[in-house]
Amino acid sequence: MKKDIPPARRNSDGEAAPCLKTVKDTSAHGSMDAESHLDAQLLDSTFDSVFLHDLEGNFLYVNEAAWKTRGYTKDELLAINLHALDTPEYARLIKTRIKALLENGGGVVFESAHQCKDGAVIPVEVSVRLIEYSGQNLFLSVVRDISQRKQTESMVGNVLDSIDEGFIIIDRDFRILTSNLAYAKNVGCHLKEIIGQPCYKISHHIDKPCYLNGEDCAVKHVFDTGEPRTTIHTRYTAQGQPLYVETKAFALDKNDQGEVQTAIEIVVDITQKKQLEDERHRLAFFDPLTRLPNRRLLLDRLEQAFIASARSSQYGAVLFLDLDHFKTLNDTKGHDVGDLLLVEVAGRLRKVVREVDTVSRQGGDEFMVLLQNLSDKERSAINLASLVAKRICASLDSPFNLAGQEHHCTASIGICLFSGYDSTVHELFKYADTAMYESKIAGRNAVRFFDPAMQAALEESSALEADLRQALSARQFTLYYQPQTESDGRIIGAEALLRWNHSNRGMVSPLAFIPLAEENGLILPIGRWVLEEACERLAAWASISAASGIRLAVNVSARQFRQPDFVMEVQEILKASGADPARLKLELTESLVLVDLADTIAKMQALKAMGIGFSMDDFGTGYSSLSQLKCLPLEQLKIDQSFVRDLGIGPHDAAIVETIIAMGRTLGFHVIAEGVETEEQLGFLVRSGCHAYQGYLFSRPVPAAELERLLATGYIER
C-alpha cells in the first residue's frame, strides 16, 4: 500500500517534496547535503530513474524518468513493487544487497536488469543509499539505463574477438582479468580456463613470472615505470608447441598515487613471420642441400676469427677439402646419388670438429673447415691442424651406403694457417686452394700445407711421431737422474728425467718429443713406463746403504694425472716394484693443480695416504693463490729455473725468488731451486733462506750407474 509523505513543500503538481536526512552518502551519482530536499521538479528533469522505497521495495516516490522509461503511467508504477521490476535472476541478489545495506549503512552500486511494461528488458546500474525519515529507514535508488554502455562493451568485445591479435588485461598480481578469443586460441585454452589465472602460467607454463627467469617482461616494465613496452617472447601452447610473439603492454588504470593497477597486453603471433625470416636467413647463409654454412657465412666467420686471433695470439687454420673422383660418381650413378654422398660427408665432417669450428660447403664437392684457437705456438698449431685433417681422412675412410650401394670416398686436403691479419680472407682461400691442389698432385687422399716450411715441419713431425710410437717397444727410452743437494753438496735426492736415444736420430731432446706425446696421447703409456722404471730403481737402491735414504722425484703430466684410474695405477706400480712409497715424490706443475681443484685434492690426498710426497714444479709461472696452496697436501715448492737464471739480470727476479722462499717458509713447505748454475746464484739463494738446489753447478743429469757412484760418496764436489 502506497504511503503518503508529509510535505515540507509542494511541487507544481501539488505533490509533496519531503525533507529527508541522509544517513550516509556513498552514491556513485553525487553527494547529498545532510539537510536537503527531494525536489520533484528537479528529479523529474533528470534522465536517471529515481525511486524512494522501503525494504520490501514498496514505492513511496518515483520520478518522471522512472515511469516513462518503463512504459508505465506514474500511478501504475507506484502500484508495482520494486522487485517486480527486476528480472528473476536479479531479484533475490538485489534484495540481499539492500538488506546488507540496511545492516551496514552507506551506499551500494550494482548492475541489474529492469523489465518494461511491454516485456522489454533494459540493463541498468543501480545506486542505492540508506536515508532516514521520521525514524524510518528508507532507500533512495538512482537507476541509470546502461543499454548504450552494454551495447558499446558488446561491440568492443566483438571487435576484440574478431581481430587476430591476442588481448588481455592483467592486474598487479599478473592475473588475467579479461581475454579475447584470439589470445585463448593462441595459447590453446578456453576463455573460462584463462580468466583469473596468472599470465605466465597460461603463456609460458611456468610457476613464476617470466621476468624472474631473466626475460624482458613488457607487463612488468609497465607496472614499474608506467611507460609502454614492446618485447619479443617465445611462448608455448598447452601442447608445448612454440609460439613466437610480439607483446605490447600499456597502462590501463592507475591509483591516486599514479601507480599502474591494471595493464593491457596485446599479443601478436609472429611465428609465421619468424619462420619466413629464418627461412630467408637459411637461404642466404646456408647450403640448401647439406644445411652447412655457405661461402658467404664462412667469410663472415673468418673475419671474426681474424679479430679473435689478433687479440689472443692464437693460430687458426683453414682446411680446403675436395672429394676425390666425385665427378666419376656423378657421371656413373647420377646426381641424386652424388647429392646423397655430399649430405653424408657433411654429417661426418660435423662430427670431427669442435663447436667453435665451422664446416662449410663451397659448392660442388668442395668443403672448407675453419679451425680456431689452435695454439699460440706455430709448431703446435701445425700439429693440431694436421691432426684434424687426419681425423677427417679417417672419418671418410669408412664406406658410405648410398641408396643401398656401398661407396668409398677419399679427399684431398689443403691447409693454411693464419694468425691475426697476416693474410686477407681471399689470400687465405687462395693459399688453402693451392695446397689442396698440391695434395691432388701428390696422388690424392693426402694432406698438404701451403707454406713449404710448414709442410716440411709437418712431414718432420709426422716422421717423429711414427718413430715415437716405436720407441717404447724398441726400448729406446731411458731415465737420467739429476742430483738434488744442500749448499755443501750433500745429496738429498734426485729427479728422474726421461731421455730418448733413437738409433738414427741419436739423443732426442724432450722439448721436441714431450709436447708431441702430449698432443697425440702417447704421454699416457710413456708416463706409466717412467713411473715403473723409477719405482724399480728405488726398490733396487734400497739395498745400497748410501742410496737407501734418498727420495726420487718423478714428473707427472697433466693428461696422465687427470686419468680417472691414476691413483690405482700408481698403487699397482708400487706393489709390483716393491718400492717404498715414502721414497717417491711426484712433481706436479702449478697449472695442473689449478684445473678441477677438488679432483686434484682428492687424488693427492689418496696418494699421500700411501706415503707419497708432492712437489709443485715450475712454481711462480702459474696463477695459484695462497688460499689454493693451503688446500693442497704439498711438501715442497720448486722455484722455476727461469727466475734463477735471471738472478742479477732481471730487475724483478730477485724479489720474486725471495717472495717464493718466504711464502714457502710461512706455509711450512720445503723450497728447492732448479737451474742453479753459478756460485753467484747459489750465494743469493743461501742468503735468502733456500737450502736445497738442483742444477749444473752441482751435476748434470746422469745415468743410474753414475748417480749410484755419486751416492757412494754422499757428496758432490764443485
pLDDT value of residue 334: 87
Fold of 286-468: Alpha-Beta Plaits (3.30.70)
| Residues 483 and 676: beta-carbon distance below 8 Å | no
pLDDT value of residue 102: 67
CA dist 604 and 612 (Å) reads 9
Secondary structure (DSSP) of 228-285: -EEEEEEEE-TT--EEEEEEEEEEEEE-TT--EEEEEEEEEE-HHHHHHHHHHHHHHH
Q: HEC states along 490-528?
A: EEEEEEEEEEEEECCCEEECHHHHHHHHHHHCCHHHHHH
Cell of 35: 539537510
pLDDT of residue 26 exceeding 70? no
pLDDT value of residue 462: 81
Of the pLDDT bands very low, low, confident and very high (cuts 50, 70, 90), residue 292 is very high
CA dist 338 and 328 (Å) reads 10
pLDDT value of residue 608: 96
pLDDT value of residue 415: 95
pLDDT of residue 25 exceeding 80? no
Q: Cell 595459447 maps to which residue? A: 187
pLDDT value of residue 252: 84
Mean pLDDT over residues 326-346, rounded? 90
Backbone angles phi, psi at 673, to 5 degrees: -105, 135
Q: Cell 536526512 maps to which residue? A: 21
Which residues is 366 bridged to in the sheet? 322, 363
| Residues 108 and 97: beta-carbon distance below 8 Å | yes
Of the pLDDT bands very low, low, confident and very high (cuts 50, 70, 90), residue 547 is confident
Of the pLDDT bands very low, low, confident and very high (cuts 50, 70, 90), residue 90 is low
CA dist 657 and 674 (Å) reads 12
pLDDT value of residue 22: 35
Backbone angles phi, psi at 367, to 5 degrees: -130, 155
pLDDT value of residue 535: 96
Which has the minimum average pLDDT: 223-237, 287-301, 387-401, 445-459?
445-459
Which has the minimum average pLDDT: 236-245, 345-354, 586-595?
236-245
Q: How much of the chain is in helix, strand and coil states, percent to nearest 5? A: 45, 25, 30
Mean pLDDT over residues 509-513, rounded? 89
Helices (H) and strands (E) in the chain, counts: 28, 28
**What element of type H or E holds 449?**
strand 447-449
Give the whole-number percent of the chain exceeding pLDDT 90. 43
* Domain 150-274, classified CATH 3.50.50.60, yes or no: no
pLDDT of residue 109 exceeding 70? yes
pLDDT value of residue 339: 93
Which has the minimum average pLDDT: 117-131, 293-307, 400-414?
117-131
pLDDT value of residue 621: 67
CA dist 91 and 98 (Å) reads 11
How many other C-beta atoms are found inside a 10 Å radius of the C-beta of residue 415?
28
Assess whether the region 19-145 and the region 472-713 belong to the same CATH fold: no
pLDDT of residue 367 exceeding 60? yes
Cell of 620: 711462480
Mean pLDDT over residues 469-488, rounded? 93
Which has the minimum average pLDDT: 277-291, 326-340, 464-478?
277-291
Of the pLDDT bands very low, low, confident and very high (cuts 50, 70, 90), residue 34 is very low
Residue 715: strand, helix, or coil = strand
pLDDT value of residue 195: 85
Mean pLDDT over residues 678-695, rounded? 94
Mean pLDDT over residues 657-682, rounded? 92
CATH of 472-713, one of 3.20.20.150, 3.40.47.10, 3.20.20.450, 3.40.640.10: 3.20.20.450
pLDDT of residue 625 exceeding 70? no
**What element of type H or E holds 566?**
helix 566-577
pLDDT value of residue 575: 96
Question: Of 96, 101, 75, which Cα lies nearest the Cα of 86?
Answer: 96
Which has the minimum average pLDDT: 115-119, 190-194, 375-379, 544-548?
544-548
Residues 6+ apart with CB under 8 A from 603: 561, 566, 567
Each domain of the chain, given as residue ranges in start order, spans 19-145, 150-274, 286-468, 472-713
Residue 178: strand, helix, or coil = strand
Mean pLDDT over residues 563-575, rounded? 96
CA dist 87 and 65 (Å) reads 19
How many other C-beta atoms are found inside a 10 Å radius of the C-beta of residue 403?
10
Residue 579: strand, helix, or coil = coil
CA dist 702 and 469 (Å) reads 25
pLDDT value of residue 619: 76
Residues 6+ apart with CB under 8 A from 115: 70, 85, 86, 87, 121
Which CATH number is associated with domain 19-145? 3.30.450.20
What average pLDDT does the structure give for the chain? 84
Cα separations (Å) of 438 from 147, 368, 538?
89, 16, 53
pLDDT of residue 453 exceeding 90? no
pLDDT of residue 36 exceeding 50? no
User: What is the pTM assigned to this prediction?
Assistant: 0.49
